[in-house]
Amino acid sequence: MEDRVQAHLRSLAGQLAGFLHTHLNGRGGDDWWDTRVVQQLTYGQQGQVRSRGITTLAGLDLAALLRVYDRNWSELDHLAGQPNEVRTLARQLMDLRHALAHQGTDHELPPADAYRHLDTLHRFLQAIAADPAVLAEVGADRDKALAALAGKPAAAPAPPEQPAPEPAPKATKPEPSTKAAPPDAGPEACRVGPLAIHGP
């Protein structure tokens, strides 16, 4: 799923460039490119713009475009209704783009992370009125990530605790029966089992 997230980030760059061009082009006069774009970039990004001769928003990478959005957020909120929640999404996408740029090629996003990133992408694309086809693709992958997350097998429940077995009753040795001696055995006789005992 990480490759799909990367692909959607590339699509986001084109959509965001168009959105920024619509709302920033010409704002503040003929020097809007310098004041609204170049001066809002980091020193490293400014150096790339000058060394590569970039003169359009479409020439910027996603990191630069997201920074331009963030630094012009107040103006964009006024022009295009971009509340602070959308600015937060943009900053989350900055973090995502940075994290993915520094991960190995064999890294795989867990389903929960894939769903969260795709949902953030989808919500931000909605906020900047992105192409419906792009929105549909991101939404479809987000739903797949959610299905994968929901279908993850739950941990097997622990077996119920078995009660300790009760101890077996102790075997008792039968005691010999004592019967009264017959009348002819005499007054001093008693019988123990088959024997009759006479005398003291």
Confidence of residue 155 (pLDDT cuts 50, 70, 90): very low
77 to each of 20, 26, 104, 106, how far by Cα in Å? 12, 17, 37, 39
Confidence of residue 58 (pLDDT cuts 50, 70, 90): very high
Which tokens is 70 given?
């963030």
User: What strands lie across the sheet with 190-192, from one edge to the other?
Assistant: 178-179, 190-192, 195-197
- With 70 as the cut, is the pLDDT of residue 24 above it? yes
What pTM did the predictor assign? 0.73
How do the domains of the chain map onto residue ranges?
Answer: 2-150
Query: What would the pLDDT profile of 159-184 be if each residue is shown by its tens digit?
Result: 555 655 666 666 555 555 545 545 55
Average pLDDT, the chain: 84
Q: How many CA atoms lie within 13 A of 86 on its CB side?
A: 21
Q: Which of 27-36, 66-75, 79-88, 162-171 has the lowest mean pLDDT?
A: 162-171
Query: What would the pLDDT profile of 122-145 be if each residue is shown by its tens digit?
Result: 999 999 999 999 999 999 999 999
